[in-house]
Every structure is written in C-alpha cells, then in structure tokens.
Amino acid sequence: MNERFFLSEADGHLYRDGDLSAPFRKGMVKWNSRIKTVSDLKGLIRAADRAFGGTSLVLIMDDGETLCNACAHSEFRRIAEAVRDKDNTGWRAVSACMDNETGPCECANCGDIIVDDEEEADDEPNFDDDFVDSDPWRGGPEGDMFG
C-alpha cells in the first residue's frame, strides 16, 4: 500500500496522509455478511483476503448454491453484474461466510469441496495422554523430581 494512505482495521475506511478526520474512501475493507450492492461485495472480498488463519470466503448465491474463494475472484465480473442488476440467474451473491462457519459444501462452479463432509467426532473429550506417564512431576518412568 502507498505510504500516503492508511487503511483502518477498525472501521475499514481508507484515510489520506494520516488525516483521520475525514476518510478518503469509506468501506474499502468491510465485512458485511449480507450483500446488497457491488460495493458491499468488493469490501467483503477485500476483508476476507485480509482474514487471519486458514479460513477462506464462501459466497452464498441467490439459488442457495455456494461459491469458493477462487471462483469468487475469477467470476467477480459476473457476480458484480448480477448484484448490480439484481438478476436471479444464479450468479447473484446474497450473503457470505467463512469456511469454518458453514457445514459441508462444495463449489457450484468448479466442483471443489469447500468444507469436507467429515464424520462428527463424539463430544466426549479424550483424556488419554502419554505425557502423564513420562512427566517427572507426576512420578512417571523417570522418577519424580524429588528423588
């Protein structure tokens, strides 16, 4: 980013020359799960690209299908035109989420699996730990710390 501009992580606005009194561009990076305008779509994609960790964007289209992050970037023009024109052709994105917030799904455009259909693990925690047997503080095979 140019050193003359400052992108605020707090409000998502772009400021010029450190002047925080008036934003140069509002909503440059803003997470909004409901997509009503093209600027909502742009800000959402920019915010998802800046997200922490191994999460990625999932777009929910008007027909209920999902689109992966790669297809959201490659088919941006079609999606933006459908959002602008409010088309019901299957390319209009109406909402978005991250892949760790949704259930098992696959991309309707490329067919890649976005979230794998893993079998749910049982809810009981597993306390089987080999560390307890080798911990000298608890009297493991090495003996305890005091003897």
With a CB cutoff of 8 Å and minimum separation 6, the contacts of 120 are none
Q: How far is CA 13 from CA 8, 32, 36, in A?
A: 6, 14, 19
With a CB cutoff of 8 Å and minimum separation 6, the contacts of 6 are 14, 15, 16, 18, 20
Residue 122 in this model has a pLDDT that exceeds 50: no
Q: Beta strands of the chain (E only): which ranges?
A: 5-7, 14-16, 57-61, 66-67, 93-98, 105-106, 113-115
Residue 123 in this model has a pLDDT that exceeds 60: no
As a whole number, mean pLDDT of residues 37-52 equals 84
Q: What pLDDT score was predicted for residue 141?
A: 55
Best CA proximity match to 66, nearest among 117, 30, 118, 114: 114
As a whole number, mean pLDDT of residues 12-34 equals 74
Q: How far is CA 40 from CA 6, 17, 47, 60, in A?
A: 20, 25, 10, 14
Give the residue, 122 or 33, on which the prediction is more confident: 33
Q: What pLDDT score was predicted for residue 121?
A: 46
The domain spans of the chain are: 1-28, 31-116
